[in-house]
């Protein structure tokens, strides 16, 4: 990782004054130990007209990985950083920011004992960072530095010129030019390099807020992107601990497949849903589901694919629902649900009404039997079409709640989302999105196979042409009034293969009679 700071000068204001301001002599190469390796300061050019100071940080990649003991104190907090193949030795990341602060501490504070008159004077500066990781790309780099008076050039670096189809990397080559007080310039870099990097800064410590306030003095207060800067600079603190807990097993499974962990650990959405923007559709969906559940008189409710538990929270607010069980396949989602519902702090009586389970609708699950209602809200579209038959059996064949409420996007409505490119699904994990007709056919087939009557309804503003953004189906078990067991509704309707209630239990009665043992049994006497 490398950057240069260049200034120009004249005879009465020689450029080499930079050496005084930085407290580093232009004719020497100096080295400094920092926590992640050795920082070198040297001047490739130093004369009156131009003077360039270069800082080169030699990162020890092995030490970076191996120093794992001190989590949050320089050790690698997660497996992602524990890779030997790591851009840290090459890119201007948060490590470089830390090195800047320790090597140029006085300069950053604006102290210069030898030439105090130089302090605070704007210099013509040119700062070059050959490899700057920039999440958000050149545009964000502009947005961050231009308001500070810099003229910005941020050229994206290609990933690999032999494979142009791979596109650009997340790095830019950054050149900043402008007249700026050196201390301020260093502080800009100190804060904005890690913000752009947006990697897991494992160095976020409790005093980080103070550091940010100090370094941001005089420019951050009125920066138009202040929220983003502060957010990114500090945001990962809370998330970090959670991540360290939940992701490791999945991370290893991703590694097994040479895949990035984000490809599979994506059950909890960090970015907002595209679809939520125009109307709070999620709220309307929840209201629609609650309405259906209320009308069925359900008391014991399953939320299958409960995600982060928003519906569970709503259900708990109503006394009608005496038992609410949320199930999800993602441990991370359940963790998030637990946190959001404040399960740990919930009063005991209320906590007794709710349970969270890890489970999967790819399997039959005995724990799901005997409920009044099950909700599958925005779940089916996350299942591969080939595997829907398993879900169908698990819910309608095995668990068989009296009522099943299913919601799913109506793909016809997608043309009404301005932000959604044509042909794209609403969420990257959606395996499909159905038209109203497709959904109807699927639901009615299930109803016929498993003895449920189905009704449909729109959720959200209904468009005369393309319908509502979300579609809802309510399945009611046709034998729900009959006791236990139940028989096959459709077949019964056809009449021919249905069996009378008396016949139905006969097999069992016969078996139990014979099972009664020698005394009282009749069959051996036959």
Partner 1 sequence: MTDGNRTSGSQPGAEVPAAGAESGAPGPVPGPAPRALGVPDLSLVVLIGATGSGKSTFAARHFKPTEVISSDFCRGLVSDDDNDQSASGDAFEVLHFIVGKRLAAGRLTVVDATNVQAESRAQLVRLAREHDVLPVAIVLDVPEHVCAERNAARADRAGLPRRVIQRHQRELRRSLGTLEREGFRTVHVLRGAREVEDVEVVRERRFNDLRHLTGPFDVVGDVHGCRAELETLLDRLGYALVRDAEGRAVDAVHPEGRTAVFVGDLVDRGPDSPGVLRLVMGMVASGRALCVSGNHENKLGRHLDGRTVQHTHGLAETVEQLAKEDEAFRAGVATFIKGLVSHYVLDGGALVVCHAGLPEKYHGRTSGRVRSFALYGDTTGETDEFGLPVRYPWAEEYRGRAAVVYGHTPTPRAGWLNNTLCLDTGCTFGGKLTALRWPERELVDVPAERVWYEPTKPLAAEAPGGADGRPLDLGDVAGRRTVETRHMGRLTVREENAAAALEVMSRFALDPRLLPYLPPTMAPCATAKPSDEADARGEGFLEHPREAFAEYRAAGVREVVCEEKHMGSRAVVLVCRSAAVARERFGVTGASEGVSGAVYTRTGRPFFDDRARTERLLGRVRDCVERAGLWAELDTSWLLLDAELMPWSLKATGLLRTQYAAVGAAAGAVFPEALGALEAAAARGVDVASLLDRQRGRAADAAAFTDAYRRYCWRVGEAASGAGAAGPGGLAGIRLAPFQLLAVEGRSLAAVPHTEQLALIDRLMAAERALLEEAGDAAPEAGGPAADRTGLLAPTRRLVVDTEDEESVAAGVAWWLDLTAGGGEGMVVKPVGALVRQPDGRLVQPGVKCRGREYLRIVYGPEYTRPENLRRLRARHLGHKRSLALREYALGLEALDRLADGEPLWRVHEAVFAVLALESEPVDPRL
Interacting residues with partner 1 between 64 and 103 (CB under 8 A) = 66, 79, 83-87, 89-91
Torsion sign, CA atoms 134, 135, 137, 138: negative
| DSSP letter for each residue of 280-332 | -HHHHHHHHHHHHHHHHT--EEEEET-TTSHHHHHHHTSTT--EEEEEES-HH
| DSSP letter for each residue of 114-172 | S-GGGTT--EEEEEEEEEEE-TTHHHHHHHHHGGGT-EEEEEEEES-TT-GGG-EEEEE
| 153's tokens | 């050039």
Q: State in angstroms the smallest separation of the CB of 487 from partner 1.
A: 5
- Secondary structure of 325-336 in HEC code, one letter for each residue: EEEECCHHHHHH
329 binds partner 1 (CB under 8 A): yes
Stated as kind and residue range, the H or E segment containing 34 is strand 30-34
Packing angle of the helix pair 208-216, 226-246 (nearest 10 deg): 160
177-206 residues near partner 1, rule: CB under 8 A? none
370 binds partner 1 (CB under 8 A): no
Residue with tokens 């497709």: 438
Contact region with partner 1 (CB under 8 A), list: 56-64, 144-152, 318-326, 337-345: 56-64
Q: Are 471 and 436 in contact (CB under 8 A)?
A: yes
313 binds partner 1 (CB under 8 A): no
CA distance 384 to 362: 11
267 binds partner 1 (CB under 8 A): yes
Binding residue for partner 1 (CB under 8 A) from 105, 205, 415, 514? Answer: 514
Binding residue for partner 1 (CB under 8 A) from 213, 241, 259, 415? Answer: 259
| 434's tokens | 């159905």
Binding residue for partner 1 (CB under 8 A) from 4, 16, 308, 470? Answer: 4
507 binds partner 1 (CB under 8 A): yes
Q: Are 318 and 281 in contact (CB under 8 A)?
A: no
| 375's tokens | 């909700």
Contact region with partner 1 (CB under 8 A), list: 245-253, 318-326, 342-350, 462-470: 245-253
Q: What is the largest CA-CA distance in the chain?
A: 124
Q: State in angstroms the smallest separation of the CB of 155 from partner 1.
A: 10
The nearer residue to partner 1, 8 or 226, going by C-beta atoms, is 8
Contact region with partner 1 (CB under 8 A), list: 12-20, 97-105, 251-259, 309-317: 251-259
Residue with tokens 């390099």: 193
Q: State in angstroms the smallest separation of the CB of 502 from partner 1.
A: 8
| 222's tokens | 């009125």
Contact region with partner 1 (CB under 8 A), list: 231-239, 371-379, 417-425, 478-486: 478-486
Binding residue for partner 1 (CB under 8 A) from 8, 48, 360, 435? Answer: 360
Torsion sign, CA atoms 223, 225, 231, 232: negative
Binding residue for partner 1 (CB under 8 A) from 361, 404, 443, 454? Answer: 361
Q: What are residue 406's DSSP bridge partners? A: 376, 473
The nearer residue to partner 1, 59 or 288, going by C-beta atoms, is 59
Q: State in angstroms the smallest separation of the CB of 312 from partner 1.
A: 19
CA distance 5 to 21: 12
Binding residue for partner 1 (CB under 8 A) from 32, 48, 54, 338? Answer: 54
CA distance 307 to 328: 6
Binding residue for partner 1 (CB under 8 A) from 107, 125, 131, 302? Answer: 131
Beta strands 373-377 and 123-133 are unpaired
The nearer residue to partner 1, 362 or 466, going by C-beta atoms, is 362
Contact region with partner 1 (CB under 8 A), list: 161-169, 197-205, 277-285, 310-318: 161-169
Contact region with partner 1 (CB under 8 A), list: 146-154, 341-349, 453-461, 499-507: 499-507
Binding residue for partner 1 (CB under 8 A) from 70, 122, 158, 218? Answer: 158
30-49 residues near partner 1, rule: CB under 8 A? 40, 42-46
1 binds partner 1 (CB under 8 A): yes
| 492's tokens | 């019964």
376-415 residues near partner 1, rule: CB under 8 A? 382, 384-390, 392-394, 397-398, 400
434 binds partner 1 (CB under 8 A): no
522 binds partner 1 (CB under 8 A): yes
Contact region with partner 1 (CB under 8 A), list: 162-170, 200-208, 308-316, 403-411: 162-170
């Amino acid at each position: 990782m490398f950057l240069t700071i260049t200034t120009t000068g004249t005879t009465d204001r020689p450029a080499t004054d930079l050496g005084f301001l930085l407290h580093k002599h232009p004719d020497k190469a100096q080295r400094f130990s920092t926590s992640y390796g050795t920082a070198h300061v040297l001047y490739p050019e130093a004369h009156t007209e131009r003077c360039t100071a270069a800082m080169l940080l030699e990162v020890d990649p092995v030490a970076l990985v191996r120093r794992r003991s001190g989590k949050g104190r320089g050790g690698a907090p997660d497996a992602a950083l524990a890779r030997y193949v790591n851009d840290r030795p090459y890119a201007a990341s948060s490590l470089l920011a830390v090195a800047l602060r320790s090597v140029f501490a006085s300069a950053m504070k604006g102290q210069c004992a030898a030439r105090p008159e130089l302090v605070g004077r704007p210099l013509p500066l040119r700062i070059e960072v050959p490899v700057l990781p920039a999440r958000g790309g050149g545009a964000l780099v502009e947005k961050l530095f231009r308001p500070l008076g810099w003229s910005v050039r941020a050229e994206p670096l290609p990933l690999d010129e032999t494979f142009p189809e791979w596109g650009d990397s997340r790095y830019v080559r950054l050149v900043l030019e402008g007249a700026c007080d050196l201390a301020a310039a260093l502080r800009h870099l100190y804060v904005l390099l890690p913000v752009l990097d947006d990697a897991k800064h494992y160095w976020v410590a409790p005093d980080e807020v103070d550091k940010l306030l100090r370094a941001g003095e005089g420019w951050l207060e009125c920066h138009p992107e202040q929220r983003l800067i502060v957010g990114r600079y500090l945001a990962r603190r809370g998330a970090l601990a959670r991540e360290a807990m939940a992701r490791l097993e999945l991370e290893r499974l991703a590694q097994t497949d040479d895949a990035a962990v984000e490809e599979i650990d994506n059950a909890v959405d960090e970015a907002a849903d595209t679809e939520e923007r125009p109307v709070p559709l999620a709220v309307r969906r929840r209201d629609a589901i609650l309405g259906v559940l209320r009308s069925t008189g359900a008391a014991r409710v399953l939320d299958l694919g409960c995600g982060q538990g928003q519906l569970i929270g709503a259900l708990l607010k109503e006394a009608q629902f005496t038992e609410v069980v949320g199930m999800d396949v993602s441990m991370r989602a359940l963790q998030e649900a637990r946190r959001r519902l404040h399960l740990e702090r919930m009063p005991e009586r209320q906590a007794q009404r709710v349970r969270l389970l890890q489970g999967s609708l790819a399997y039959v699950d005995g724990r799901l039997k005997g409920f009044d209602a099950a909700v599958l809200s925005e779940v089916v579209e996350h299942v591969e079409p080939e595997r829907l038959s398993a879900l169908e059996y698990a819910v309608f064949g095995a668990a068989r709640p009296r009522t099943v409420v299913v919601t799913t996007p109506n793909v016809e409505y997608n043309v009404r989302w301005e932000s959604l490119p044509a042909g794209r699904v609403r969420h990257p994990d959606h395996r499909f999105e159905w038209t109203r007709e497709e959904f109807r056919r699927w639901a009615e087939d299930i109803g016929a196979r498993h003895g449920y009557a189905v009704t449909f309804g729109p959720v959200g503003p209904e468009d005369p042409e393309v319908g509502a953004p979300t579609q809802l189906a309510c399945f009611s078990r046709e034998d729900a009034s009959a006791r236990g067991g139940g028989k096959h509704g459709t077949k019964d309707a056809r009449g021919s293969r249905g069996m009378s209630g008396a016949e139905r239990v006969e097999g069992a009665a016969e078996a139990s009679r014979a099972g009664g043992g020698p005394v009282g049994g009749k069959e051996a006497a036959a």
